[in-house]
Structure 1
Amino acid sequence: MAQTPRPTHPLSIDEAWAFTADHASSTTFFFDFDGVLSPVTDDPDASQPVSAVPGVLERLAESVQRVAIVSARPVSFLRSRFASLERVDLYGLYGLEVWHEGQVVTEPAAEPWVPAMAELAERARAELPSSILIEYKRLSVALHYRTAPGEASTVERWGHEQAERLGLRIQAGRMVVELKPPVDQDKGMVITEGVRNAGCAWYFGDDMSDIKAFDALRAREAVDPAFFGVAVAVANPETGAEVSSAADLTLESPDEVASFLSRGLERF
């Protein structure tokens, strides 16, 4: 029986699932965590995947070649939320950490920056308003102003000053400014490597850093006529319009992500 030909963009949901079902053995699904598998919360430590997500990811991992979560969160956090998922790979801190064969593997070029990140977190707590939530992630520091949106300019200015002082990189996100080591690693690079031997890949994202992952799918399609990539945006009032405009499909919430995957799995 002939396989479904590669769809063209823009595409329909039916076309995307039909191709994926025909190429399941060479398909990878990539997911961001916050805003995609979990609602965004005022307190990052309180975030949990929506109840249907672990089960549907496990079913998906049994049906396709690979499932991976690619997040700004540390691997330790992702493990605490998905410890029961044996078949799902975890990329933390934009790929600076990887859960591999039962342990966390850290990008060697980032390791020397751990003390600087700890010192930066302490400085942030001392110098920024108490309404700013400081999230220390070992290899990065995130400055959340979700509960104090009026402090956005203060946080952004302070973050850029520290980045210049220490030679760090800045990653802007949904009401957050994150400072990272000057190491070449982002979600786009994770996807570029992750799809090298794939015939089909999906990426689900909701924030500006996820656009690089969408771009990686497009780049792979440009050099491999047999490869098919699907970029899925999860709508939100903060970055949703820009992310959705870069995607093939848009879903409305993490709950809809779980439902969408469940419906798609019926085709396998």
Structure 2
Amino acid sequence: MAETARPTHPLTTDEAWAFTAERASATTFFFDFDGVLSPVTEDPDASQPVPEVLGVLERLAESVARVAIVSARPVSFLRSRFETLGNVDLHGLYGLEVWHDGQVVTEPAALDFVPTMAGLADSARAELPAEILVEFKRLSVALHYRTAPEHARPVERWAHEQAERLGLRIQHGRMVVELKPPVDQDKGMVITEGVRNAGCAWYFGDDMSDVKAFDALRAREAVDPAFFGMAVAVANPETGAEVSSAADLTLESPQAVAAFLTEGLRRF
């Protein structure tokens, strides 16, 4: 039987699932963590995937070529939440760390910045308002102002000053600003590499860093007429409109993501 021609955007979810099921053996599903598989929480350490996620990701990994989580979280954090899933790859810190086949691989160019990040975290705790949650991730530092949005501007200003002083890069997110090493690695680059040999790929994201991943799917489609990419946004009150405008489809919550996957798997 001849394969269905690649659908064009915009398209219905039925078309997307039908095409995906037909090419399941050549399909990869990528997911952000916070806001996609887990609700965003005031305390980042308290975040947990919604209860349905573990089971549905396990079934998905058995049905397609590959499932991967691509997150700003460190691999150690992701492993603590998904340790029961043996067939899911973990890309932490925007791809600076990768857990694959039982090993963590760290981008060598970023390792030199571990002492810089430790010192930066200490400075942030000493110089920023006490309400700002400073998250030290070994290779980056995230400054969360979700519980104190009135401090957003001074926190952003401080972060930019430190980035200029130390030669770091800035990543903006949902009520957070993060400082990272000046290493060419982001979610878009992870997806570009991840879809190199894929025939189909989906990416689920909720924040501005995920738009680069959406763009990577579009770029692959542009050079490979046989490749199909599906960009799925998850609604949120901070960056939702911008992310949704770059996506093919918007879901309302992490619970809706799990339900959407459960329904889609029935097509396989």
Mapped to 2, the partners of 1:247 and 1:94 lie a distance apart of 19
Counterpart in the other structure of 2:26:
26
Gaps of 5+ in 1: none
Mapped to 2, the partners of 1:103 and 1:222 lie a distance apart of 33
Mapped to 2, the partners of 1:119 and 1:226 lie a distance apart of 48
Structure 2 length-normalised TM: 1.00
**1:155-234 alignment runs, 5 A limit:** 155-234=155-234
CA apart distance, 1:15: 0.5
**What's the % identity of the aligned pairs?**
84
Q: How many residues align?
A: 268
Mapped to 1, the partners of 2:12 and 2:100 lie a distance apart of 35
**1:8-27 alignment runs, 5 A limit:** 8-27=8-27
1:167-207 CA distance string (max 9 Å, x none): 00000000000000000000000000000000000000000
SS at match of 1:50: coil
- Residue 227 of structure 2 aligns with an amino acid whose one-letter code is F
1:112-170 CA distance string (max 9 Å, x none): 00000000000000000000000000000000000000000010000000000000000
Counterpart in the other structure of 1:151:
151
Counterpart in the other structure of 2:85:
85
- Residue 229 of structure 1 aligns with an amino acid whose one-letter code is G
- Residue 15 of structure 1 aligns with an amino acid whose one-letter code is E
Counterpart in the other structure of 2:44:
44
Mapped to 1, the partners of 2:49 and 2:15 lie a distance apart of 28
Mapped to 1, the partners of 2:22 and 2:204 lie a distance apart of 20
Counterpart in the other structure of 2:102:
102
**1:112-123 alignment runs, 5 A limit:** 112-123=112-123
CA apart distance, 1:101: 2.6
CA apart distance, 1:104: 1.2
Mapped to 1, the partners of 2:5 and 2:258 lie a distance apart of 27
SS at match of 1:109: helix
1:216-248 CA distance string (max 9 Å, x none): 000000000000000000000100000000000
SS at match of 2:3: coil
Gaps of 5+ in 2: none
| Deviation >2 Å, runs of 4+ | none
- Residue 215 of structure 2 aligns with an amino acid whose one-letter code is D
- Residue 198 of structure 1 aligns with an amino acid whose one-letter code is A
1:33-90 CA distance string (max 9 Å, x none): 0000000000000000000000000000000000000000000000000000000000
Counterpart in the other structure of 1:140:
140
